[in-house]
Amino acid sequence: MKKISGKTISRALLYIRTLEALIKEKRFMVSSGELARLTGVSDVQIRKDISKFGRVGTPRIGYKTVDLKNVLEDFVLQKDAIRLAVFGVGNLGTAIMKYPGFRREKLKIVAAFDKAKEKIGRSIDGVRIYPVEKGPAVIKKRRVDLGIIAVPEECSQEVADLMVLSGLKGIINFSPVAISAPKKVAIRDIDLSIEFLSLYCETRR
Amino acid sequence: MKKISGKTISRALLYIRTLEALIKEKRFMVSSGELARLTGVSDVQIRKDISKFGRVGTPRIGYKTVDLKNVLEDFVLQKDAIRLAVFGVGNLGTAIMKYPGFRREKLKIVAAFDKAKEKIGRSIDGVRIYPVEKGPAVIKKRRVDLGIIAVPEECSQEVADLMVLSGLKGIINFSPVAISAPKKVAIRDIDLSIEFLSLYCETRR
DNA sequence: GACTGTGAATAAGTTCACAGCT
DNA sequence: AGCTGTGAACTTATTCACAGTC
């Protein structure tokens, strides 16, 4: 499989989502220009990205929405659903569990974990909350793919260690501290404060 | 003012946060190597970044934590607090309003907006919820710097238009669709599904 | 004429290698 | 010796310019 950068993959996922919306409204053809308008990515960038996955468009006409979607999906997503586990069922953890966007995409929350006794055993939208110590067992049993850190920062490294121990291959870290893990484990940091602050800086230039 | 890239700014904000923690524990000196360990950024990258802001370290010794913090802050953040308004007080909007990380940083939520009658007039953590139509007036009156879109995707463009109209210079968009705005308005998209999906792809390579 | 696909040019970002300081 | 600071090399990402197709 050809080497494709993370940025291209992210954009491909965006194209897939957009194509799905087009297909739903029975649109069969689309041009890179229109995709550009819908996604905010430049048309050249879109053609460059697509060309990495194969030659799938027809000059003068554009792309068949269904074909393009299939080609992109073959490269980036073959699985039925990606199974997620949330650690920390506070405000952010709960919001993630209820995030409506996941339903449409192939993302499924299959377990949640918390330390607070009063939360354990309860369910949110049908997803059971387990004590953190049950992590490794539940993660294996429920075949979790990715773990989400939504705990207070004091605990995030500890939770990350538990995730690594449980064999998770990817971690999304919403806590505002760096976590360390063996480099075979992929980590994505989403640091809300930094996003806000840097956007603000951008407005002052 | 010298041109400094968005990536460098984001990292500078991370250094500032880390320096604040060090200062709080009475650490007066720090090396690029230690900052690297604490932030996850490489030491060379850190020195390169810092060098863009001035010559502030001493060879053989390292950086004075307080001085370095001041130098970085001079470039990226002079304001007292950045004032935010949240549009959409659902699960995500509420989680953002309660996000504890903002308290430490210079980020302050000063207003919230929603369409649902039953939410209007209520407060969350002392922040009043207004009807969306009051947007322009409240944004001006409360001197809001940045707007946050946490509404269902059908409404996000409409809300974005309202923000632009109200004179906001920056928008953080949590909805999974592209929004358009005059290019003088800075936009940051945070698309949770794409983050999760792309992380998953990364684990499969 | 209106699209795709792509080599070439350009720009942005990161790492290397090492000079220079104390 | 042990650190900073930085030009140079390298790598990655984006845009340009245009050939090719229907």
- pLDDT, tens digit (0-9, with 9 covering 90-100), for B12-23: 999 999 999 999
DSSP reduced 3-state for B183: coil
A108: pLDDT strictly greater than 70: yes
Give the C-alpha separation, A111 to A104, whole Å: 19
A152, A193, A202 member nearest B6 (Cβ)? A202
* Residue A67 token pair: 């074909």
* pLDDT score at B78: 74
Protein-proximal nucleotides of chain D (any atom < 7 Å from a CB): 1-7, 12-17, 20-22
Sheet with B29-30, side-by-side order of all strands: B29-30, B62-64, B57-58
| Model pTM above 0.85 | yes
What type of residue is B16?
Answer: I
| Cβ distance of A170 and B14 shorter than 8 Å | no
Which residues of A52-145 form beta strands (DSSP E)? 57-58, 62-64, 82-87, 107-114, 123-124, 127-131
What number is the average pLDDT over the span A195-202? 95
* pLDDT score at A1: 59
Pairing of strands B170-173, B186-189: parallel
Indicate the average pLDDT of chain A. Answer: 95
> Which residues of A are less than 8 Å from B191 in CB distance?
14
Instruction: Determine if strand C comes within 7 Å of the CB of A31.
Output: yes
Give the C-alpha separation, A203 to B168, whole Å: 10
* pLDDT score at A204: 86
Helix (H) or strand (E) holding B11: helix B6-24
* Residue B12 token pair: 């500078």
Buried b (16+ CB within 10 A) or exposed e, B91-115: bbbbbbbbbebbeebbbebbbbbbb
The CA-CA-CA angle for residues A123, A125, A127, to 5°, reads 50
Write phi, then psi, for B189 (nearest 5 degrees): -95, 130
B112: pLDDT strictly greater than 90: yes
Tell me which of A37-46, A166-175, B68-77, B107-116 is least confident. B68-77
| Cβ distance of B17 and A192 shorter than 8 Å | no
Query: How many CA atoms lie within 13 Å of B3's alpha carbon, on the beta-carbon side?
Result: 0
Of B6, B58, B70, B5, nearest to B31 by C-alpha is B58
A181: pLDDT strictly greater than 80: yes
What number is the average pLDDT over the span B86-102? 96
| Cβ distance of B199 and A95 shorter than 8 Å | no
**Residues A119 and A129: beta-carbon distance below 8 Å:** yes
Instruction: Determine if strand C comes within 7 Å of the CB of A55.
Output: yes
- Interface check B77 vs A, CB under 8 A: yes
- Interface check B182 vs A, CB under 8 A: no
Structure confidence by residue, pLDDT tens digits, B155-182: 999 999 999 999 999 999 999 999 999 9
Structure confidence by residue, pLDDT tens digits, B118-164: 999 999 999 999 999 999 999 999 999 999 999 999 999 999 999 99
Share of chain A above pLDDT 90, in %: 92
**Both ends of chain B: CA-CA distance in Å?**
42
* Residue B151 token pair: 């509404």
Instruction: Determine if strand C comes within 7 Å of the CB of B60.
Output: yes
B38, B94, B198 member nearest A9 (Cβ)? B198
Q: Which residues contact A133 (CB under 8 A, 6 or more apart)?
A: none
List the single residue in B with minimal CA-CA distance to A35. B178
Query: How many CA atoms lie within 13 Å of B102's alpha carbon, on the beta-carbon side?
Result: 18
* pLDDT score at B1: 60
B49: pLDDT strictly greater than 70: yes
Structure confidence by residue, pLDDT tens digits, A57-98: 999 999 999 999 999 999 888 778 999 999 999 999 999 999
CA of B11 to C1' of C21 (A): 27
Instruction: Determine if strand C comes within 7 Å of the CB of B40.
Output: no
Give how far Cα B113 sits from Cα of B84, B87, B187, Å.
11, 5, 19
* pLDDT score at A76: 87
> DSSP characters for A2-24?
----HHHHHHHHHHHHHHHHHHH
Mutate one of B5, B191, B197, B202 to test the A interface: name it (highest A CB count within 10 A): B197
CA of A36 to C1' of D15 (A): 15
Nucleotide C1, nearest residue via CA and C1' = A60
A23: pLDDT strictly greater than 70: yes
Across the strands, what pairs with B13?
none
What percent of chain A is helix, strand and coil (3-state, nearest 5)? 45, 20, 35
Instruction: Determine if strand C comes within 7 Å of the CB of A57.
Output: yes
What type of residue is B138?
Answer: V
